[in-house]
Amino acid sequence: MAQPYTDAERPGSLDDITFLNLTFDSSLPRPAMSNTPGHEIPAPDLSKLGSPYDWSPFHKSFITWVSCIATLFASFAASCYSPGASQMSSEWHTSEVATLVGITTFCCGFAIGPMFLAPFSEITGRKPVFVATAILLIICQLCCAVTRLYSGMLVARFFAGIGGSTFSTMVGGIIADIYTPQDRNAPMTLFSVSALFGTGLGPLVCGFIGEHTTWRWIFYIQIIIAGMITISVILFFRETRGTVVLRQRAKALNKYYEHLEASGCSGLQPSPEKPFQRIRWKVAEDEERASLSTMLKTSVSRPFLLLLTEPVVFFFSLWAAFSWSVLYINLSVIPLVFQSTYRFSLSEANAIFTAACTGSLLAMVLSIIQDRLASRRKGWNSLPEHRLYFSCVESILLPIGLFMFGWTSQYHVHWIVPAIAVAISTMGIFAIYLAVFNYLADTYHRYASSALAAQSFCRNMMGGIFPLVSKQLFNNLGFGPAASLLGGIGAALTLVPWLLVLFGSHIRSRSRLASEIMQ
């Protein structure tokens, strides 16, 4: 149990109150006297205010699935915009490239939002931020559906990106809240595959909607889905952040103690060797937390500081950003290739995104099998570099898929071959995404959220920019050369995990921050 301290500086009637730091393992004291017969004051029900680590497997799984469905929808919302771009261009008399800026503004909001929202989740908890941003997303999707202006669409998409950002970035924190490090592999794999699967599912579904209705129904469908997710979160989602649950626990206990004292209880006994005394509970982290302005400043500035001063963060962010760019390049290139080469309709061309969904599912299954095999080896995961062994091999699937896609996208080659190439490259993207997330979390510990925010910012910003130039790139260079250019960059970046596997310990020792953390 935490050691008590007397806050002698508290004025008035609080001078004789002893304040204790509450933890989930704290022993709760017993009253010095019983309640007056007939006026018993019931003790608070703390069964729902226990440690999230101790929740039942069913409840953990339920929270994880709800969170990952939200992640899938956030990716869906980002990618489903492209099938309606040609209709929007015709309605607003803009070029299709200008219309695709809606993807860019969404990704900008997706990149910037978490940096400002993260401190609020530390103070208020995950659920209030989740619900508030979900409502913002619904409002913005409604604005997208009814707007008559091109500029209105861009603004609404930006704020929709901010609203949807917590559906992705906060879920990693939720999983960390309820699972111990040794139990996180499977939930983190599910989280990762949700992001990739949703990106493929968006154009797959909305290509059909855009071809048979109007582009506005692309957003009406999202409003319905987002509303269902929001209602599920409000009704069934429990707060997962441990310090917030502790704060609620302390509040319930302190209110109970006040009622006891009002009924004549002279005090409580914190432990058998201590006398009866008036006590109140507090949460140490609340007392030590910086001001909101300081937290916001740190949340915004530290990711860029790590990006500029930590080579590991820089190169991993570059690696993740490139792979995510390929994912978003597909949004415009796949319809281009399959409509021009194979004369597919809009919905048929977007049906090729089934390959991306399939690739992400195969990668998830492969990752789970690998984790089970690796866990049998003694000493596995004792170093952060151990997380990179599989990704060193699997990340090469990204450039292989790109080369294969570019040079097989020809009318005399069956369309299934470039579709398989899309699945292969998606498996490579999954391996990169999971490796970056795990390695940065293992290496930077208490600064992991800032390191991950740095790569997330780079990843989403580049993902939003590349769709604007992808059609010109493939039309001007040709499918084969353009894909080869991207494949060459991807092949060069596969050296990143190999360098860390071979020289990771030395690189970390040269980093002041990483070496300090690992000691």
* 96 has a pLDDT exceeding 80: yes
The strands making up 278-282's β-sheet, listed across from edge to edge, are: 5-6, 17-21, 278-282
- Report how far residue 221's alpha carbon sits from residue 350's, in angstroms, rounded to the nearest whole number: 17
**CATH code for 291-506?**
1.20.1250.20
Q: What is the mean pLDDT of the chain?
A: 86
Question: Rounded to whole angstroms, how far apart are CA atoms 275 and 268?
Answer: 8
Residue 443 · residue 293 · CB < 8 Å: no
pTM (two decimals) = 0.87
Q: Are 161 and 109 in contact (CB under 8 A)?
A: yes
Cα-Cα-Cα-Cα dihedral sign, residues 239, 245, 247, 249: positive
pLDDT at 325 over 90: yes
Selected residue with higher pLDDT from 271 and 471 = 471
Q: Each residue of 351-381: pLDDT tens digit? A: 999 999 999 999 999 988 888 887 777 656 6
Helix (H) / strand (E) element for 137: namely: helix 126-146
Q: What are phi and psi of 275, to 5 degrees?
A: -75, 165
For residue 180, the model assigns a pLDDT of 84
3-state secondary structure of 519: coil
> Is 286 strand, coil or helix?
helix
pLDDT-based confidence at 517, cuts 50/70/90? low
**pLDDT tens for each residue of 307-316:** 888 888 999 9
Determine contact, residues 116/87, Cβ cutoff 8 Å. no
Percent of the chain residues topping a pLDDT of 90: 52
Instruction: Give the pLDDT score at 1.
Output: 38
- pLDDT at residue 382 in the model: 63
Summarised one tens digit per residue, pLDDT across range 191-210 is: 999 999 999 999 999 989 98
Question: Looking at residue 470, what is its pLDDT?
Answer: 92
Q: Residue 389: how many CB atoms within 10 A of its CB? A: 15
At 102-152, the pLDDT tens digits run 999 999 999 999 888 888 887 888 999 999 999 999 999 999 999 999 999
At residue 147, φ and ψ (nearest 5 deg) are -65, 145
Say if CB 89 and CB 210 are below 8 A apart: no
CA 504 and chain centroid, separation: 26
Tell whether the model's pLDDT for residue 10 goes beyond 50.
Answer: no
Task: Give residue 266's pLDDT band: very low, low, confident or very high (50, 70, 90).
Answer: low
For residue 443 the two structure tokens come to 């290496």
Question: What pLDDT shows up at residue 8?
Answer: 39
Domain ranges within the chain, ordered by starting residue? 5-31+241-289, 291-506
